[in-house]
Amino acid sequence: MKPPALKPGEAACIRKIAARASAMARDMGATLDPADVLIDLAICHVETPLHLGQLYAAPDIDFSHDVFGIRENLCRDSGRLRGGFYPRAASMLQR
C-alpha cells in the first residue's frame, strides 16, 4: 500500500498517539514500537477517518480500545478494518 497522505498537523498528532500507546504498553509489561502504531494509524485514518485530537485525549479505556483494536484488526494491504471493529474516535464523515 502506498504511504497515506496526511493533512498538516495530522502526522504530529499521530506521533503523539503512538508515543502514548507505546508508553501504555510498556506500563503493562509489553513492547510496542511507536513506528508500527504510527503506520497503522496513518493507514487506518485514510480509509476510516479518525478524530485524532479526540483519540489522543481519550480516557485510557477508549484510547486502548481504539489503538490496540486498530492494530489487531487493520489489513495493511487494503487499509480496511476487519471483524466488524469500529474505533470510538472514528468520524462518521468520509474524507
Structural domain includes residue 87:
no
Structural domain includes residue 82:
no
Total domains, the chain = 1
Structural domain includes residue 48:
yes
Which residues lie below 8 Å from residue 68, measured CB to CB, with a gap of 6+?
21
Domain around 64: 10-73
Structural domain includes residue 22:
yes
Answering whether pTM is above 0.95, one says: no
Structural domain includes residue 90:
no
Here the contacts of 30-36 (C-beta below 8 Å, separation 24 or greater) are: 36/71
Would you give per-residue pLDDT tens digits along the chain (95 residues)? 555 678 889 999 999 999 999 999 999 999 999 999 999 999 999 899 999 999 999 999 999 999 999 999 999 999 999 999 999 999 865 44
Structural domain includes residue 86:
no
Cα separation, 24 vs 44, in Å, equals 20
